[in-house]
Structure 1
Amino acid sequence: MRMKSTCVMMALIMGGMQVSLADEETSNTSTLELDTLSVTASADASAEGLSPAFAGGQVAEGGRAGILGTKDNLDTPFSITSYTNEFIQDRQAQSVGDVLRYDPTVQVTRGFGNFQEAYMIRGFTTSSDAVAYNGLYNLLPRQYIATELFERVEVLRGASAFLTGANPLGGAIGGSINLLPKRAPNYDLNRVTLGASMNDKRNISADIARRFGDNDEFGVRVNAAHHNGGTSIDDEQAELNLFNIGLDYQGERLRLSADIGYQNNQLDQTRTNVRLSGVNSVPSEPDASKNWAQPWSYSNEEDKFGTFRAEYDLTDEVTAWAAYGMRRSEEENSLANFTLTNANTGAGTFYRFDNAREDRVDTGEMGLRGDFDTGLVGHDWVVAYSYFQLETKNGFTYDVSGTRTNTNIYQPQYVSKPAFTSTAVSGNNFDSPSLNTRTKFNSFAIGDTLSFMDDKLQVTIGARHQAIKVDNYAVNTGVRTSYEDSKITPALGAVYKLTDQVSVYTNYIESLVAGDSAPSTALNFGEALSPYVSEQREVGLKYETEKFGTGLAYFTTDEPRTLTGDDNIFRESGENEHQGVELTLYGKATDNLKLLGGLTWLDAKQKGTGNATTEGKRAIGVAEWMAVMGAEWEVPEIKGLALDGQIHYVSSRYANATNTLKLDDWTTVGIGARYLINMGNQDLTLRARVDNLFDRDYWSSANDSGQITLGAPRTVSISATVDFY
């Protein structure tokens, strides 16, 4: 499924452009006053539109709290950060992970086996296929989401089953991630960006928008991008092609929006995770640019997706909405994942694993929201229904013994692609994958936010009934086993504004994950457990002036565990107990100095494991301390010049449940510069960035399976953005 040429696409991008400068904070919040209508650019077809950018433009004043809608930071009993497109551009971020590594509460890691991004929030992993797009789960590409596809990255910290529904992919225990699509601003936008980085990686993108109609009620925004070339890691190659159209209509009572997108991401010889097997220590870090991936290994993903959303004001107090989304995806890969067997020498093995996958996602929601008063008490109420279905087809072949080959992380051995032998194991058909899993989620939610004392005190109460059905189909035979259950997850939150600048809040909220089935070794083999409910309790303090904001939160989350007891019965028993403190800060310390960062302390322990070697030990991959501090200085003596720097610290973590395999702590430094030049009818923005400035070699993370990932070496990137007007 490789694209032979992108010339036609890029010619369409470049043809006939007329442009205007558009800062993100202006383009998303400006309102054009018309005779009969006020048009405001909105990512979600809502009357409220995007939350305005906070001072400094790096984050917004608030974000979406699920079905409760967009809320200001001081007015919600939850912790939300929304990173703006201005920040995404200035840091030259190319994926969701590139944005979230600036968040002090998120540890960016990699998923199991393949090259999927994953994000550890409050010690729990949310994979990239568990990310929501405009409120709907699993619509964007499953493994890698390019930044050209979205306007903002919103992080809702903590459990969110009531707010967003149970995550169908099983994540979101510690937090959920929502990406907002791009919409046409209230004036013409035409922007072209050219970029380059180490080892001849090049990219070009275009962002074009127009509004039409007597009142500019129709909007069109087109984004296209092409990335190609090497990376800072030896011999890695990546190519990405992307095209997306965002449409919107904003009438007096009716608001509509739609997105149609395509992404093709192709990876060649991408460095794999390292699985540790039979070792009693973690190996010393190789040179960060070293690549032990085999030259024939690849992973390709092609995604087509679309969404539609409508909102209509039934009365001045009641609004109805509905949304639908779909994704159709095809993946192919040939992998040579590395298993390390000698920590001293770095020796290990790989074997060939070929896999094909097809996804078919259909999802939607509908609801009503409104407001009314009962005496001195105000009510903002909402009722909502959501639906999700994912069908996954799969076909694979792996050859553990026939193609197993020796290699080394310090001195990699490269071989020609081995042919499968008679010992190879196949599941279904690689060329025509068969149905593997069908997942269906249905839920109904109702909530009310009660306002007292002229809105100084707001109390949110609500609950969601979630029905879960999962059909699994055995490989080759297609024999079906089913799981079906349901649960009600309540939520309670309160926020009190001590002053216009200070609020305190608390919440109790749950997350929900489908229960596991008993393994074949248990007496109750095949028995499905009830859905796992994780309970979160949180208290916090928020402070904001017009220019600077900070938040402090303490939370506890208990995640159920399972074990097979002495009676050989598989059951829910014990829990992972996570408690932590988060400090976040954002905004402008002075007129010329922007700050963004914070600190997280996290105590994540395994409880009730039934095994003395793991009881009370830290959860795999979870760091006790994380800190990120970023600063940007606009040089007053040189108009248009800004310099920035960032320090990122992660403390030691463990790569196994018994805590015998320990990864060292690490610190990296990044620096960057931005220079804006006005050239008559054009504005040129030049950006340069150096990540991992001191070229540190470090194990960046360990995922839930104990696979460890080597951090990227020093990486230099530059870009030039031209806005024509």
Structure 2
Amino acid sequence: MKKIFIYSTLASAVIFAMNSAYADEQKVEELDVIEISSDASQEGLAKEFSGGQVASGTRVGILGNKANLENPFATTGYTNKFIQDKQARSVADVLKNDPNIRVARGFGNFQESYFMRGFITNSDDILYNGLYGLLPRQYIASEMFERVEVQRGASAFLNGAAPSGGSIGGTIALMPKRAPSEDLNRLNIGISSNERTNVGADVSRRFGDSKEFGVRLNAAHTEGESAIDNDKARNTVFHLGLDWKGEKARISADLGYQKNHLSSPRPSVTLAGTVTEVPSAPKATSNWGQHWTYSEERDVFGTLRAEYDFLPNFTGYAAYGFHDGKESNVLANLTVRDNNGNGTEYRFDNTRRNIIHTGEVGLKGNFETASVGHEWTLNINRYQEKRKNAYVMDWQNAFATNIYSPIYLDGIAYSPNALRGNDLGSPALTNRVVLTSVALADTLSFLDKTLQVTLGARWQQLSTKDFAYNTGVQSASYKEARITPSMGIVYRFTPELSVYGNYIENLAQGGSAPSPAINQGETLKPYVSKQKEIGVKYESQNGFGASLALFSTEKPRGYLGANNFYTTKGKDRHNGAEINIYGQVAQNIRLLGGVTLLQAKQRDTGSSTTEGKYTIGVPKFQGNLGLEYDVKAIDGLTLESRLTYTASSYANAQNTLKVKGWTRVDVGARYIAIIGNTPVTLRARLDNLTNKKYWESVGGYPNYGYLVSGAPRTLSVSATIDF
């Protein structure tokens, strides 16, 4: 009955809109963009850049909102309009459009992770309204967000150390929706290949004499089988955003809920040491996942932010966030053991619970000394997390299969030799994490803001405790602190052109000495990754933008020396260049894309087989080009395409297993009609036009080169109605 309702509603909307196109001769235009604030700041969100796909600025950690040309770091902010037009269901769907990012997958699960400048950024380390660790770990629905912002490069000074130690190559920041000035009543319905349907509502109101109080509610549900055989998903999300704006004070609050269930998902593929050649990717629709496997997560999360202006140039702020996440998985991941695709799977069950509390307080202001302007910020941040885990691993009870001719079992029971850790029904505490930091920043402006210099530093303390499975006895502890400095410079040659440079670091817990080492179990001092970057940015008054960034990042790594002592000596060095283009090249043509050239190599590894070799999963070249074309002959019709290219990479540290590069073509169209006073937007999109079979990503967790198969040809259509 539900599918019949969705189909009939969608069909009615399509027919109604198509008929109205002949009757309605008025010019079709997009709805006006309303300037709103997603945190609680006075500045509000940066306005959309010409074309509406990206913003004219982003939030830059403790520095606040920065216009693109005044920002000493490389960033991009994808707008809600762009999210809707691409029919993006998840944050990963949005970031597949970024030429500097490649979406990957977590180790042994279905967590979305991201290669940024050749380093991994996990979904654990995504910022939500400026705070870490608050969103679902594995899948993040896009319906909740006004902006998806990308900060390229290290960011310990800007945001603090990431909870999982990632974000060396970049940080993803998500800004929740707020109520615009005008009432919003939006319904979205859609369907994609193999009857995966989605329904969503987006409603907002503002109240008060000056409309000072706003409420925005988003609710969405997606369910059904994908274009992959027997791969089913069910996702439900609710998000409530509240805000209040007074003369001197501003308060915002968010509350979110998401439940995501995957049934018989297609797992990643691990290559055993006996494989000498990477197997070709199977048929794009093929699914070697067992029918009884599943992955489920349930998350409740929220934030509260407040600002108060003590003086016109002196403001205090505070924020609090919480996250209660539960996960349950029954998995059977595939390990290929020869060049013909033969392999084994075994059952692995696990449950997990994350309880997170985090917050920050700060002061910010501005003043002048002589002819020098100052914009300063003082920030104190604290993050607390409890991780509870349990598992049953039956690796000695493996069963045979083949990646090209999968063997399906009705089910498999645990063997007597299964390894167990804690109780699946009630996972016990295994980790505590506490991150504390204090940061101070000052942006000095010279020559009427033609030259801006940002100086700052953050004192960061990392504290962790590990507890043994089954006994709960504390097995390890770690407490280290370090100051991470940063400097950024921007010089604006003209209102359209600026150059910039920065030095910034990333901080993570040091590695743990492995069993062969004489200092086995010792955790090293914090790893400090160091980034140097220079670049140029251009935004024309006609609405076209471009940027070039040159960067070099060094990440420490553990080294087991000839004396069998484990220490910090090796490093991964990533040198690269990024070119990005965006905006309008003509009144009816928009471009979004770019290329990344990257040399990511291992240095001082202590082994001739890996010294100077390329990092797992990182291509030397990748690029995207998105094109939108408004058809002048048919008012309201837009055609679009996206070309994605990723060069070859390696699936092992020795670079003996080479994974072929790939090219994918996606096409789409949308049509906007005004029916009476009601805008209706019809969208259609065909991803992987040629139904290409390919390995989309290699790895996604440090030092592991598992493979993830690309999705098959997928058609998605939807209708968005603004009542």
Q: C-alpha separation between the residues in 2 aligned to 1:664 and 1:185?
A: 47
The Cα of 1:566 is off from its aligned counterpart by 1.3
Quick one: which of 585, 588, 593 aligns to 1:589?
A: 585
Distance of aligned partners of 1:424 and 1:147 in 2 relative to their CA distance in 1, 3 Å threshold:
same
What is the root-mean-square deviation of aligned Cα atoms in Å?
Answer: 1.3
Q: C-alpha separation between the residues in 2 aligned to 1:390 and 1:608?
A: 34
The answer on whether the counterparts of 2:29 and 2:636 sit within 8 Å (CA) in structure 1 is no
Instruction: Give the letter aligned to residue 468 of structure 1.
Output: L
Secondary structure at the aligned position of 1:526 is classed as coil
Could you say which residue in structure 1 is the equivalent of 2:304? 308
The Cα of 1:24 is off from its aligned counterpart by 8.9
The Cα of 1:520 is off from its aligned counterpart by 3.1
Could you say which residue in structure 1 is the equivalent of 2:315? 319
Quick one: which of 493, 501, 511 aligns to 1:506?
A: 501
Quick one: which of 663, 667, 673 aligns to 2:669?
A: 673
Q: C-alpha separation between the residues in 1 aligned to 2:406 and 2:515?
A: 38
Could you say which residue in structure 1 is the equivalent of 2:7? none
Residues 138-182 of structure 1, C-alpha deviation per residue, up to 9 Å, x if partnerless? 111111000012111100000011001010111100000000000
The Cα of 1:101 is off from its aligned counterpart by 0.8
Bigger mean CA deviation after superposition, 525-534 or 271-280: 525-534
The Cα of 1:342 is off from its aligned counterpart by 1.3
2:519 maps to 1:520: no
Could you say which residue in structure 2 is the equivalent of 1:474? 468
2:442 maps to 1:440: no
Distance of aligned partners of 1:416 and 1:113 in 2 relative to their CA distance in 1, 3 Å threshold:
same
The answer on whether the counterparts of 2:511 and 2:557 sit within 8 Å (CA) in structure 1 is no
Q: C-alpha separation between the residues in 2 aligned to 1:673 and 1:511?
A: 41
Could you say which residue in structure 2 is the equivalent of 1:429? 423
The Cα of 1:517 is off from its aligned counterpart by 2.3
The Cα of 1:565 is off from its aligned counterpart by 1.2
How many pairs align?
693
Quick one: which of 159, 162, 167 aligns to 1:167?
A: 162
The answer on whether the counterparts of 1:25 and 1:53 sit within 8 Å (CA) in structure 2 is no
Secondary structure at the aligned position of 1:401 is classed as helix
Quick one: which of 695, 701, 704 aligns to 1:699?
A: 695
Distance of aligned partners of 1:422 and 1:105 in 2 relative to their CA distance in 1, 3 Å threshold:
same
The answer on whether the counterparts of 2:380 and 2:439 sit within 8 Å (CA) in structure 1 is yes
Unaligned runs of at least 5 residues, structure 2: 5-27
Residues 248-305 of structure 1, C-alpha deviation per residue, up to 9 Å, x if partnerless? 0011110000001100000000000000002111001100110000000000000001
Instruction: Give the letter aligned to residue 187 of structure 1.
Output: E
Residues 532-584 of structure 1, C-alpha deviation per residue, up to 9 Å, x if partnerless? 00000000000111201000010000000112211111111121000000000
Q: C-alpha separation between the residues in 1 aligned to 2:168 and 2:562?
A: 29
The answer on whether the counterparts of 1:25 and 1:52 sit within 8 Å (CA) in structure 2 is no
Quick one: which of 438, 443, 450 aligns to 1:449?
A: 443
The answer on whether the counterparts of 2:434 and 2:462 sit within 8 Å (CA) in structure 1 is yes
The Cα of 1:6 is off from its aligned counterpart by 13
Secondary structure at the aligned position of 2:395 is classed as coil
Instruction: Give the letter aligned to residue 61 of structure 1.
Output: S
Residues 300-354 of structure 1, C-alpha deviation per residue, up to 9 Å, x if partnerless? 00000111000111100111110000000111010000000012x2110000000
Could you say which residue in structure 2 is the equivalent of 1:709? 708
Unaligned runs of at least 5 residues, structure 1: 8-21, 30-40
Instruction: Give the letter aligned to residue 438 of structure 1.
Output: R
Instruction: Give the letter aligned to residue 590 of structure 2.
Output: K
Instruction: Give the letter aligned to residue 550 of structure 1.
Output: A
Secondary structure at the aligned position of 1:498 is classed as strand
Could you say which residue in structure 2 is the equivalent of 1:14? none
Secondary structure at the aligned position of 1:360 is classed as strand
Q: C-alpha separation between the residues in 1 aligned to 2:661 and 2:347?
A: 33
Quick one: which of 540, 554, 574 aligns to 2:570?
A: 574
Q: C-alpha separation between the residues in 2 aligned to 1:466 and 1:536?
A: 18
Q: C-alpha separation between the residues in 2 aligned to 1:320 and 1:641?
A: 47
Could you say which residue in structure 1 is the equivalent of 2:270? 275
Which runs of structure 2 are paired with 1:402-421 in the superposition (5 Å)?
A: 402=397, 404-421=398-415
Quick one: which of 458, 465, 473 aligns to 1:464?
A: 458
Could you say which residue in structure 2 is the equivalent of 1:104? 99
Instruction: Give the letter aligned to residue 612 of structure 2.
Output: G
Could you say which residue in structure 1 is the equivalent of 2:210? 215
Quick one: which of 657, 661, 667 aligns to 2:657?
A: 661
The answer on whether the counterparts of 1:23 and 1:86 sit within 8 Å (CA) in structure 2 is no
Quick one: which of 537, 560, 570 aligns to 1:542?
A: 537
The Cα of 1:196 is off from its aligned counterpart by 0.2
The answer on whether the counterparts of 1:594 and 1:632 sit within 8 Å (CA) in structure 2 is yes
Q: C-alpha separation between the residues in 1 aligned to 2:471 and 2:447?
A: 64
Q: C-alpha separation between the residues in 1 aligned to 2:529 and 2:661?
A: 29
The answer on whether the counterparts of 1:24 and 1:85 sit within 8 Å (CA) in structure 2 is no
Distance of aligned partners of 1:6 and 1:225 in 2 relative to their CA distance in 1, 3 Å threshold:
farther
The answer on whether the counterparts of 1:25 and 1:57 sit within 8 Å (CA) in structure 2 is no
Instruction: Give the letter aligned to residue 476 of structure 1.
Output: N
Secondary structure at the aligned position of 1:701 is classed as strand
Instruction: Give the letter aligned to residue 146 of structure 1.
Output: A
Secondary structure at the aligned position of 2:581 is classed as strand
Quick one: which of 286, 292, 295 aligns to 1:296?
A: 292
Secondary structure at the aligned position of 2:536 is classed as strand
Scaled by the length of structure 2, the TM-score of the pair is: 0.95
Q: C-alpha separation between the residues in 1 aligned to 2:549 and 2:271?
A: 35
Q: C-alpha separation between the residues in 2 aligned to 1:525 and 1:114?
A: 28
The Cα of 1:28 is off from its aligned counterpart by 3.6
The answer on whether the counterparts of 2:162 and 2:508 sit within 8 Å (CA) in structure 1 is yes
Q: C-alpha separation between the residues in 2 aligned to 1:257 and 1:110?
A: 33
Q: C-alpha separation between the residues in 1 aligned to 2:31 and 2:646?
A: 31
Could you say which residue in structure 2 is the equivalent of 1:635? 631
The answer on whether the counterparts of 1:25 and 1:86 sit within 8 Å (CA) in structure 2 is no
Distance of aligned partners of 1:525 and 1:257 in 2 relative to their CA distance in 1, 3 Å threshold:
same
Q: C-alpha separation between the residues in 1 aligned to 2:592 and 2:489?
A: 26
Q: C-alpha separation between the residues in 2 aligned to 1:26 and 1:701?
A: 39
The answer on whether the counterparts of 1:108 and 1:120 sit within 8 Å (CA) in structure 2 is yes
Could you say which residue in structure 2 is the equivalent of 1:190? 185
Q: C-alpha separation between the residues in 2 aligned to 1:520 and 1:608?
A: 20
Q: C-alpha separation between the residues in 2 aligned to 1:513 and 1:318?
A: 33
Could you say which residue in structure 1 is the equivalent of 2:149? 154
Could you say which residue in structure 1 is the equivalent of 2:392? 397
Instruction: Give the letter aligned to residue 183 of structure 2.
Output: D
The answer on whether the counterparts of 2:536 and 2:548 sit within 8 Å (CA) in structure 1 is yes
Scaled by the length of structure 1, the TM-score of the pair is: 0.94
Bigger mean CA deviation after superposition, 452-461 or 566-575: 566-575
2:559 maps to 1:563: yes
Q: C-alpha separation between the residues in 2 aligned to 1:667 and 1:355?
A: 36
2:91 maps to 1:118: no
Residues 413-441 of structure 1, C-alpha deviation per residue, up to 9 Å, x if partnerless? 00021110110000011011000111000
Could you say which residue in structure 1 is the equivalent of 2:20? none
Which runs of structure 2 are paired with 1:26-105 in the superposition (5 Å)?
A: 26-29=32-35, 41-105=36-100
The Cα of 1:25 is off from its aligned counterpart by 8.0
Instruction: Give the letter aligned to residue 107 of structure 1.
Output: R
Secondary structure at the aligned position of 1:74 is classed as helix
Secondary structure at the aligned position of 2:668 is classed as strand
Could you say which residue in structure 2 is the equivalent of 1:360? 355
Q: C-alpha separation between the residues in 2 aligned to 1:517 and 1:616?
A: 23
Q: C-alpha separation between the residues in 2 aligned to 1:423 and 1:540?
A: 57
The Cα of 1:23 is off from its aligned counterpart by 9.3
Q: C-alpha separation between the residues in 1 aligned to 2:391 and 2:573?
A: 37
Secondary structure at the aligned position of 1:86 is classed as helix
Instruction: Give the letter aligned to residue 431 of structure 1.
Output: G
2:333 maps to 1:337: yes
Could you say which residue in structure 1 is the equivalent of 2:125? 130
Q: C-alpha separation between the residues in 2 aligned to 1:582 and 1:303?
A: 35
Which runs of structure 2 are paired with 1:685-696 in the superposition (5 Å)?
A: 685-696=681-692
Instruction: Give the letter aligned to residue 623 of structure 1.
Output: P
Q: C-alpha separation between the residues in 2 aligned to 1:471 and 1:375?
A: 50
Residues 95-136 of structure 1, C-alpha deviation per residue, up to 9 Å, x if partnerless? 111111110100111111100111100000101121110110
Distance of aligned partners of 1:108 and 1:455 in 2 relative to their CA distance in 1, 3 Å threshold:
same
